[in-house]
C-alpha cells in the first residue's frame, strides 16, 4: 500500500519546484522593471536640474557681472532649445510646447521672505514633465 501512495510524488515535487522558481523569476522581473522606470526618470531629472542651474547662472551673471539685478518680485522664463528646432516660451512650464526642449523660470524673492542679506533667486527647471528647483541667496 505504501508503494501506491508514493506514485506521483516526483510529479508533485517537480510542480512545486517549478512554482517556486516561477515566483522568484516574476518577483525579480517586477523589481527590475521598476528600476528601469526609475532610471529613465533620473535622466529627465538631471536635465531638469541643469535647466534650473542654467537659470541661476544667468541671473547671477546679471547681478554680479552686469551689476543689474532683476527687480524683486519679478518672474521670467526662458527656453533651452535642446533639439535646435527653434521656438520660444513665455511661461515655463505651462507654455512649453516642444517636449524635447527644457525651460527655466526665475523668480526674484525679497530678502525678508528668504532670510538673505540682499535677496534670493529661485529657479525652476522643467524637462519632459519633470521639475527641479534651486534657490540661492545673495
Tens digits of per-residue pLDDT, 69-120?
667 778 888 888 877 777 777 788 877 777 788 999 999 888 888 888 878 8
Full-model pTM: 0.69
Residue ranges of E strands in 1-138: 75-80, 102-109, 120-127, 130-137
Determine contact, residues 102/83, Cβ cutoff 8 Å.
Answer: no
Average pLDDT of the residues of the chain: 84
Amino acid at each position: 500500500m505504501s508503494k501506491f501512495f508514493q506514485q506521483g510524488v516526483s510529479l508533485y515535487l517537480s510542480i512545486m519546484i517549478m512554482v517556486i522558481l516561477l515566483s522568484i523569476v516574476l518577483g525579480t522581473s517586477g523589481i527590475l522593471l521598476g528600476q528601469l522606470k526609475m532610471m529613465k526618470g533620473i535622466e529627465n531629472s538631471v536635465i531638469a536640474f541643469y535647466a534650473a542651474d542654467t537659470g541661476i547662472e544667468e541671473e547671477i551673471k546679471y547681478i554680479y557681472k552686469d551689476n543689474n539685478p532683476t527687480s524683486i518680485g519679478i518672474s521670467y522664463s526662458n527656453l533651452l532649445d535642446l533639439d535646435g528646432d527653434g521656438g520660444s516660451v513665455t511661461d515655463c512650464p505651462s507654455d512649453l510646447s516642444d517636449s524635447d526642449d527644457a525651460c527655466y523660470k526665475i523668480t526674484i524673492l525679497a530678502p525678508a521672505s528668504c532670510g538673505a542679506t540682499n535677496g534670493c533667486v529661485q529657479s525652476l527647471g522643467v524637462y519632459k514633465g519633470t521639475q527641479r528647483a534651486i534657490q540661492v541667496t545673495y
